[in-house]
Amino acid sequence: MLAQENSDKEFIELYLKIQNLEKEIATLRNEIEVIQTQLDFYQEKNIQKINEIDSKLISLMSIEDLQKSEAIVERDDQVLNSYDQAILLIRKGQLNEALSALNAFVQTNNDSDDTPLAYFWMGEINLTNGNLAVATQNYNTLVGLYPAHWKVPLAKFKLGTIYSEQGNKERAVALFESVIREYPDSSAAKASAETLSSLE
């Protein structure tokens, strides 16, 4: 009986530790996303600073992908190489080559867990390259096809900044307000609120 009680106690302690770790991971992910959105919106868009943003996002992705590590091992080599190669190219600052790899990836991997992230990265690269129309398509594809994905609030924020840059203030404001309303606890909502106040 005592052994059973000790076992139950150990289980509860372990469960509580896991819960605390999950909270810490969520907090860290949120902090990284806040840093990324601030850098992306306020700093000049050059390769060195994009690399800083990318490294923060990649560390964010590694947290997200911890649970998928087993599935990654089982994947087909070409699938693994196509997306992961794109991430390596982004880290090296070879954005056009990364864009080609991501385009190839989304053409053949619609059901992959990495596909929504691939659309996000395509949007980031096109935004950096000044291809606002294509970046808008990339972010809208992510929002439209994967509405429950955790990158959607940030993608909507990015769309808002694009519309703002294009002088479409009404559409930008609508998107920022939508992010604040639909994802009030996200760092994208905080960034949207800051951007809204600077537009007024």
Give the tens place of pLDDT for each residue, 34-43.
777 766 666 5
Entry pTM: 0.61
B/e letters for 7-45, b = 16+ CB within 10 Å, e = fewer, are eeeeeeeeeeeeeeeeeeeeeebeebbebbbeebbeeee
Residue pair 161/126 in contact by the 8 Å Cβ criterion? no
Tens of pLDDT, residues 1-42: 666 666 767 777 777 788 777 778 877 887 787 777 766 666
Residue pair 178/152 in contact by the 8 Å Cβ criterion? no
- What does DSSP assign to residue 146? -
**What does the domain layout of the chain look like in residue ranges?**
2-199
B/e letters for 78-91, b = 16+ CB within 10 Å, e = fewer, are eeeebbebbbebbe
What percentage of the chain carries pLDDT values higher than 70?
Answer: 72
| Region of poorest pLDDT, from 67-81, 113-127, 128-142, 146-160 | 67-81
Helix (H/G/I), strand (E/B), else coil: 75 = coil
Tens of pLDDT, residues 40-58: 666 544 555 554 454 344 4
Q: What is the pLDDT of residue 41?
A: 65
The dihedral region occupied by 15, where left means phi > 0, alpha psi between -120 and 50, and beta the remainder, is: alpha
Q: What is the pLDDT of residue 67?
A: 30
Counting Cα atoms < 13 Å in the Cβ hemisphere of 187 gives 17
Domain 2-199: give its CATH code.
1.25.40.10
Helix (H/G/I), strand (E/B), else coil: 181 = helix
For residues 88 and 184, what is the distance between their CA atoms, to the nearest angstrom? 33
Tens of pLDDT, residues 160-182: 999 998 999 999 999 999 999 99
User: Which residue is it, tokens 């990158």?
Assistant: 151
